[in-house]
C-alpha cells in the first residue's frame, strides 16, 4: 500500500475470489469515499493473490498481504487489524469479497461509526435489513448461530455474525486484536462479545445481504464445531481448554466433532439452568 491521505482501511480477506476481486475493488474506489483496501490472500489456488498484486500496482489505495496457506478468516482479520493500527488508520472496515456486502453501504457504515458508536455493524436482523437469495438452510444456520450466541453470551446486538463492520481505531486498541483467539468465522462472535464486555457502543445499520453469484462458499462443517467450541470457551473460561483442544486437533475432524458435541452439551445445560433461574 502506498501512502494515501485516506483515514479508513477496508480489510478484505480473500480465498479464491478471483472472479469477484477486480470488480469489487473498482466499485469501492469508484465511490470516491476515501477508503484504502488491504487484500489478505491465503495463497489462493485460483490466482487471487497475483490479481491483487496487479491491482495494487495500478491503484495506490490498494495493498496486498500474501500468506503461505489458508489460515482462517479470523486470523486474516487479526492480521489486517494489526496492519491498520500500525499504519495509523482511524477507521477499519471488514467486508466479504463476494459482493454479499454491497459497497454502496460503505459511506453510511463509516458515517454511523463516525457519528455515534465505536463499532458499526451492517445488520441483517434489524428492521429494514434482510437477506436476498440465501437458501433456507443458510438462513436457518445463521439465525440459529445468532440466537445461540446472543443467549449463551448475553450479547445484545441483533447480528453478531455479520462480517460487514466498521471499527474505530480506539475500539480495536481497547480490545487488542491478539486477545481474540478464534481463527475461524467465530472470530466475529468473539469480537462482538469482547467489544460489549468493554462497554463500547455498537450501532447497527440495516443492510440487505446478497448471496454470492460467483465463486464458492468457504464455510465448512468444521466452522460449526469451531463456533460451538468458541461459545463454550467464552461462556466457561475457567475450563482447561488449552489442554483439551490440542488433543482433539490430533484426531482431525473426529476430534473436533467431539469437542463440538461436548461444547453443545455444556451450552445446552447452561441454557436450561438459565431458564430455571428466571
Ligand X SMILES: Nc1nc2c(ncn2[C@@H]2O[C@H](COP(=O)(O)OP(=O)(O)OP(=O)(O)O)[C@@H](O)[C@H]2O)c(=O)[nH]1
Which residue ranges make up the site for ligand X (CB under 6 A)?
Answer: 13-15, 17, 40-42, 70-73, 76, 96-98, 100, 212, 217-219
Q: Does 17 bind Mg ion (CB under 5 A)?
A: no
Taking each helix axis from N to C end, the angle separating 136-153 and 252-277, rounded to the nearest 10 degrees, works out to 60
CB 77, min distance to Mg ion, A = 14
Strand duo 165-168 + 202-206: pairing = unpaired
All three cell numbers of 34, joined, read 476515501
Q: Name which of 77 and 229 has its Cβ closer to ligand X.
A: 77
Cα→Cα distances 270→91, 144, 229, Å = 37, 17, 14
Q: Name which of 100 and 182 has its Cβ closer to ligand X.
A: 100
Contact string 84-123 vs Mg ion (x = CB under 5 A): ------------x-x-x-----------------------
CB 87, min distance to ligand X, A = 19
Contact string 245-274 vs Mg ion (x = CB under 5 A): ------------------------------
| C-alpha to C-alpha distance for 263 and 269, rounded to whole angstroms | 10
What is the greatest pairwise CA distance in the chain?
A: 61
Which helix H or strand E contains 208, and what residues bound it? strand 208-210
Question: Of how many residues is the chain composed?
Answer: 278
**Partner touching 15 among ligand X, Mg ion, none, CB below 5 to 8 Å by kind:** ligand X
Give CA angle at 237 (234, 238), nearest 5°.
165
**DSSP one-letter code for 101:** S
| C-alpha to C-alpha distance for 82 and 262, rounded to whole angstroms | 33
Q: Name which of 42 and 96 has its Cβ closer to Mg ion.
A: 96
CB 73, min distance to ligand X, A = 4
End-to-end CA distance of the chain: 53
CB 100, min distance to ligand X, A = 5
Q: Name which of 6 and 131 has its Cβ closer to ligand X.
A: 131
CB 4, min distance to Mg ion, A = 27
Question: Which residues of the shown chain bind Mg ion in the complex (CB under 5 A)?
Answer: 96, 98, 100, 212
Amino acid at each position: 500500500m502506498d501512502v494515501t491521505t485516506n483515514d479508513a482501511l477496508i480489510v478484505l480477506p480473500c480465498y479464491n475470489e478471483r472472479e469477484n476481486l477486480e470488480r469489487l475493488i473498482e466499485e469501492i474506489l469508484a465511490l470516491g469515499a476515501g477508503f484504502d483496501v488491504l487484500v489478505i490472500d491465503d495463497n489462493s489456488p485460483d490466482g487471487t493473490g497475483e490479481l491483487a498484486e496487479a491491482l495494487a500496482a495500478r491503484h495506490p489505495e490498494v495493498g496486498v498481504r500474501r500468506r503461505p496457506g489458508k489460515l482462517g478468516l479470523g486470523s486474516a482479520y487479526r492480521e489486517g487489524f494489526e496492519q491498520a493500527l500500525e499504519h495509523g488508520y482511524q477507521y477499519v472496515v471488514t467486508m466479504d469479497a463476494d459482493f454479499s456486502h454491497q459497497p454502496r453501504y460503505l459511506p453510511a457504515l463509516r458515517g454511523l461509526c463516525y457519528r455515534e458508536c465505536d463499532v458499526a455493524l451492517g445488520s441483517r436482523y434489524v428492521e429494514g435489513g434482510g437477506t436476498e437469495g440465501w437458501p433456507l438452510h443458510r438462513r436457518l444456520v445463521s439465525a440459529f448461530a445468532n440466537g445461540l450466541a446472543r443467549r449463551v453470551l448475553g450479547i445484545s446486538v441483533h447480528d453478531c455474525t455479520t462480517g460487514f463492520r466498521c471499527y474505530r481505531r480506539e475500539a480495536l486498541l481497547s480490545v487488542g486484536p491478539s486477545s481474540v483467539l478464534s481463527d475461524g468465522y467465530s472470530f466475529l462472535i468473539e469480537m462482538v462479545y469482547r467489544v460489549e464486555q468493554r462497554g463500547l457502543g455498537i450501532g447497527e445499520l440495516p443492510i440487505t445481504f446478497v448471496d454470492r453469484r460467483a465463486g464458492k462458499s468457504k464455510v465448512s462443517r468444521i466452522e460449526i464445531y469451531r463456533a460451538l467450541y468458541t461459545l463454550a470457551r467464552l461462556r466457561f473460561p475457567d475450563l482447561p481448554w488449552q489442554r483439551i483442544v490440542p488433543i482433539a486437533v490430533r484426531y482431525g475432524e473426529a476430534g473436533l466433532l467431539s469437542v463440538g458435541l461436548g461444547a453443545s452439551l455444556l451450552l445446552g445445560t447452561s441454557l436450561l439452568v438459565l431458564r430455571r433461574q428466571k
